Amino acid sequence: MNIMRKSAYAAAAGLSAVLVLAGCGSSTEGTAEPTGKTAGTSAAEQAVAKDVPSGFDPCTDIPQDVLDSEGLFSTGGESSKDEMTRGDLKWRGCQWVVSDGYGASISATNLTLDMIRGNSNAGTSEREVSGRTVLYAPDTAGSTEDCRLNAQMEGGSLEFFVNNPPSGRKTGSQNACDIALRLAEKVLPLVPAGA
């Protein structure tokens, strides 16, 4: 699944560069005054948490009956881990597959919804699932095969990535974002309120 994150990581790397470059520039004598908008902070101004959100570990906190309801199984061992660090951005989670169907990774990440909004593509949708704001979009504009959904958490988000190739007999006719939303509806009620 890590290869499938290529476009998201490119955007994340770009955001990291923006965060670094935001601190560069010339200095001027006098009192600092804000220019432009004063309410809120932009994605570039937002501090990145040092680690992924705690309080929910997708590898251990999703009950087997939830995975079974989707027909998901883990390959086990290190191959089922979905862990990556790209600059200051981190992902920690696991991967599952449906035999002759879709693959999914669910990872806690320090990538916030504001950061995603600042770098999202035109096809990004927003809604509420189990009391949490979620952003979701096809990984490639117009694609029904890949979808990335991020659900709000303290200090980041819970990321669901679904790859559903059309060749999969069991699920190939389904839209990957529909699957991601269905997974989120099953998993997000398990995430503690403060996480």
For 116-165, the pLDDT digits (tens) are 998 877 679 999 999 999 999 987 777 899 999 999 999 999 999 999 99
> Is position 28 within any domain?
no
Number of domains in the chain: 1
132 φψ region: left (φ > 0), alpha (ψ -120 to 50), beta (else): beta
> Is position 195 within any domain?
no
> Is position 37 within any domain?
no
For residues 73, 77, 81 and 86, what is the CA-based torsion angle, rounded to 10 degrees?
-160
For range 13-38, the mean pLDDT: 38
For range 86-115, the mean pLDDT: 95
> Is position 99 within any domain?
yes
> Is position 36 within any domain?
no
Mean pLDDT of the chain: 80
Checking 141-149 for CB contacts under 8 A at 24+ apart, the result is 143/176, 144/175, 144/176, 144/177, 145/176, 146/4, 146/176, 147/175, 147/176, 147/177, 147/179, 147/180, 148/8, 148/180, 149/177, 149/180, 149/181, 149/183, 149/184
According to the model, what pLDDT value does residue 179 have? 98
> Is position 131 within any domain?
yes
Domain holding 110, by residue range, is 2-22+42-190
Q: Which residues contact 152 (CB under 8 A, 6 or more apart)?
A: 113, 132, 133, 134
Q: Which residues on neighbouring strands pair with residue 149, listed in sequence order?
A: 136, 160
pLDDT > 50? residue 167? yes
Residues in the chain, overall count: 195
pLDDT > 50? residue 41? no
pLDDT > 90: what percent of the chain?
A: 61
| pLDDT confidence bin for 79, thresholds 50/70/90 | low
According to the model, what pLDDT value does residue 82 have? 82
CA distances for 128 relative to 42, 64, 87, 125, 134, angstroms = 22, 25, 29, 10, 6
> Is position 101 within any domain?
yes
| pLDDT confidence bin for 78, thresholds 50/70/90 | low
> Is position 170 within any domain?
yes
User: Rounded CA gap, 157 and 154, in Å?
Assistant: 7
Lowest mean pLDDT among 36-45, 57-66, 126-135, 184-193: 36-45
According to the model, what pLDDT value does residue 123 have? 76
According to the model, what pLDDT value does residue 26 have? 36
